[in-house]
């Protein structure tokens, strides 16, 4: 099992090969280097954008002028893995953190990215999800939506692991 992780203070999980990265391009390269795999879970999104060119020096204040930056899109790691014509994992799982129309946006993401499952949740400020210990998710697939109750994050992870195992054993959700 391989974990590709951005910067974090969390310890590496026991028994897991961990590759640390700092950029989306590094993450995509590390993910592709870890293939083939039976399952790919894209549990967190990297930034959608990055600056087009990195400066070699600090940007100084200049008479109240706001600096401008040209941006370019980062690679879409979930879509890249999902749409591989060779070496695509048999099961590709993505996440959708949404602030409105959670199910509608998750279904659209499932189709757009080409993955098999989306774990969707409402992260609007009033839910307290971001930074909290609990979560309420919806498991979205082509077969439909399974709504899970409010659970602590460890239980969400356990249920997701079971759903992945069930899917690998011939289940549809």
Question: Which pLDDT tens digits describe the chain residue by residue (173 residues)?
Answer: 999 999 999 999 999 999 999 999 999 999 999 999 999 999 877 888 999 998 888 888 888 889 889 999 999 999 999 999 999 999 999 999 888 999 999 999 999 999 999 999 988 766 666 666 778 899 999 999 999 998 998 999 999 999 999 999 987 66
Count: domains in the chain = 1
Task: Please report whether residue 65 resides in a domain.
Answer: no
- What is the rounded CA–CA span in Å between residue 17 and residue 33? 12
- What is the rounded CA–CA span in Å between residue 26 and residue 48? 14
pLDDT at 129: 64
Task: Please report whether residue 27 resides in a domain.
Answer: yes
3-state secondary structure of 152: strand
Segment holding 98, helix H or strand E: strand 91-98
Q: Which residues contact 117 (CB under 8 A, 6 or more apart)?
A: 91, 92, 93, 94, 110, 139, 140, 141, 163, 164, 167, 173
pLDDT at 134: 79
Q: Tell me which residue range forms the domain holding 114.
A: 2-47+75-168
**b/e map of 10-46 (b: 16 or more CB within 10 Å)?**
eeeeeeeeeeebeebeebbbbbeeeeebebbbbeeeb
Task: Please report whether residue 15 resides in a domain.
Answer: yes
CATH code for the domain in which residue 111 is found: 3.40.50.10300
Q: Is 131 left (phi over 0), alpha (psi -120 to 50) or beta?
A: left
Task: Please report whether residue 55 resides in a domain.
Answer: no
Task: Please report whether residue 31 resides in a domain.
Answer: yes
CA distances from 155 to 43, 112, 136, 137, 158 (A): 15, 28, 11, 11, 5
pLDDT at 136: 85
Task: Please report whether residue 58 resides in a domain.
Answer: no
pLDDT at 106: 96
- Residue by residue, DSSP assigns 102-140 as HHHHHHHHHHHHT-SEEEEEE--GGG--TTSSEE-EEEE
pLDDT at 130: 65
Task: Please report whether residue 54 resides in a domain.
Answer: no
pLDDT at 71: 96
Task: Please report whether residue 111 resides in a domain.
Answer: yes
pLDDT at 117: 97
* Stated pTM of the model: 0.89
- What is the rounded CA–CA span in Å between residue 170 and residue 147? 20
């Amino acid at each position: 099992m391989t974990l590709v992780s951005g910067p974090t203070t969390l310890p590496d999980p026991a028994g897991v090969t961990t590759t640390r990265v700092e950029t989306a391009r590094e993450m995509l390269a590390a993910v592709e280097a870890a293939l083939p795999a039976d399952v790919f879970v894209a549990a967190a999104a990297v930034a959608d954008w990055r600056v087009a060119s990195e400066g070699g020096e600090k940007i100084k204040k200049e008479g109240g002028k706001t600096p401008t930056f040209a941006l370019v899109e980062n690679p879409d790691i979930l879509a890249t893995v999902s749409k591989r014509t060779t070496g695509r994992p048999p099961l590709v799982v993505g996440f959708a953190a949404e602030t409105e129309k959670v199910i509608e946006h998750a279904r659209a993401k499932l189709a757009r990215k080409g993955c098999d499952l989306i774990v969707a949740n409402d992260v609007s400020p009033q839910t307290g999800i971001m930074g909290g210990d609990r979560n309420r998710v919806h498991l979205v697939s082509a077969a439909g939506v399974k709504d899970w109750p409010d659970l602590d994050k460890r239980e969400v992870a356990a249920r997701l692991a079971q759903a992945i195992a069930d899917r690998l054993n011939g289940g549809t959700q």
